[in-house]
Amino acid sequence: MLDIKFVRDNPEAVRENIKKKFQEPKLPLVDQVLALDGENRAVMAEANDLRAKRNALSKQVGQLMGQAKRDPSKLEEAEAAKAAVKANADRLAQLEQREGELEEEIRTIMMTLPNIIDPSVPIGPDDSHNVEVERFGEPKTPDFPIPYHTEIMERFNGIDMDSAGRVSGSGFYYLMGDIARLHSAVTAYARDFMIGKGFTYCIPPFMIRSNVVTGVMSFAEMDAMMYKIEGEDLYLIGTSEHSMIGKFIDQIIPEEALPQTLTSYSPCFRKEKGAHGIEERGVYRIHQFEKQEMIVVCRPEDSMSWYEKMWRYSVELFRSLDIPVRQLECCSGDLADLKVKSCDIEAWSPRQQKYFEVCSCSNLGNAQARRLKMRVKGEKGTYLPHTLNNTVVAPPRMLIAFLENNLLADGSVLIPAALRPYMGGMEKLTPKA
């Protein structure tokens, strides 16, 4: 969320940013919020003036009532002053009510305006304009056919989507045997990988209140993703980033405690609205999955260096599991409204002969901090920190990349050396069927 003072001082920059994000319908909001801000400041000025007058009048009434006890002729003047105090109070109540209404209207619009994107972000209307920056590892093209990922899992008796459909509906699954063990191994390996990078491991709440939801994401994201707990002010998290950033709501962080570097495990719950293509069947796009996340809260001047470190951690992890990846810079139209800059790490799919998203790294500037009223207390005063997040691994998609890239011609799956301690020393998985 932008600072209203920034919008007031830089309306053209805000309009230009809206155009760069291809959100032209939001352009009128700039004039609307400036008009509301002008009215709000006028209302606050009048209210402050009335408060000053009220104090003076109240003091005058007290003096006149004291005089009236000695001189009855002063009673009329005292009553007039009392009437003025009441009129003042009535007008002040009206102004305070209007002030609250205006602040809510301003906040609603400000939460709709997109954050100012970094100058380095490529301009484009949608993800088809995202830009490949760099590749890591040689994409494999095996000389044998690679089945769809659920078919590979079925060879190990490792997945049951039919039973899950009967129990929970579409978009759910049972993982079984070696595939379930592989899922847990990847998560444990990712946890220890990030601990080795100096991050603090955390298991957060899996449900959050509405004020945290609106603090960490845009209204559009909230509607598309979040499951609401009926009858309670609670939502199931779509990613542990939500509750991890929410941890700092209304907090003043000592500057010496920065950066906060956290890696969190959680299940994730998402509506996944809309129709999806055939390649998004199986466990690619589902309503429930598990994920290891990395979160950083830091000084503003450090956020871009952390952004660079974080996406490179993802590359390093995937390469340690023999999975080729690439970094894809997200264009302006593909950025969620709170994001300043974002990139995807995409894994190579030998079956499809193309890359697909497995991680998303984002710098949100001070947008989440402003919404959640997070502050840092430093030597030069109080300021808003920057927040960043990145996927370490989300095992369902990681499993797709892992199985395809480590599949052997005989149907077995090679276990890379880094993962063997988490698989009881196993060097490969052998099909059951």
Q: What are phi and psi of 367, to 5 degrees?
A: -60, -50
Task: Say how many C-beta atoms besides its own lie within 10 A of residue 189's C-beta.
Answer: 23
| Structure tokens belonging to residue 84 | 């003025």
List the structure tokens of 128. 């088809």
For the chain, the C-alpha Rg in angstroms (whole number) is 28
Beta pairing, strands 325-329 & 413-414: unpaired
The 10s digit of each residue's pLDDT in 120-170 is 999 999 999 999 999 999 998 899 999 999 999 999 999 999 999 999 998
Query: Tokens representing 234?
Result: 């609670």
- Give the three-state DSSP class for 107: helix
pLDDT digits (tens, 9 = 90+) for 32-89: 999 999 999 999 999 988 887 776 666 665 665 555 555 666 666 666 666 776 777 8
Going from the N-terminus, what domains does the chain have, and what CATH number goes with each?
Answer: 4-110 (1.10.287.40), 127-429 (3.30.930.10)
Percent of the chain with pLDDT over 90: 80
Which pTM value belongs to this model?
A: 0.88
The pLDDT of residue 275 is above 50: no
d(CA 70, CA 49): 32
Strand ordering across the sheet containing 131-136: 131-136, 325-329, 341-349, 354-363, 386-393, 288-298, 260-269, 200-202
Q: Tell me the per-residue pLDDT of 169-191, one tens digit each, with 9 for 90 and over.
A: 988 999 999 999 999 999 999 99
* pLDDT at position 276 over 60: no
State pLDDT tens for residues 304-336. 999 999 999 999 999 999 999 999 999 999 999
The rounded percent of the chain whose pLDDT value lies above 70 is: 91
Q: What pLDDT does residue 280 have?
A: 58
DSSP H helical ranges for 298-389 = 303-320, 367-372
CB proximity list for 370: less than 8 A, separation 6 or greater? 1, 2, 3, 384
pLDDT at 87: 77
Tokens of 329: 């810079």
- The answer to whether residue 232 scores a pLDDT higher than 90 is yes
How far is residue 333's CA from residue 336's CA, in Å, rounded to a whole number? Answer: 8
8 A C-beta contact, residue 259 and residue 306: yes
Angle between helices 177-196 and 395-406 (to 10 degrees): 110
Least confident of 34-38, 71-75, 269-273, 406-410: 71-75
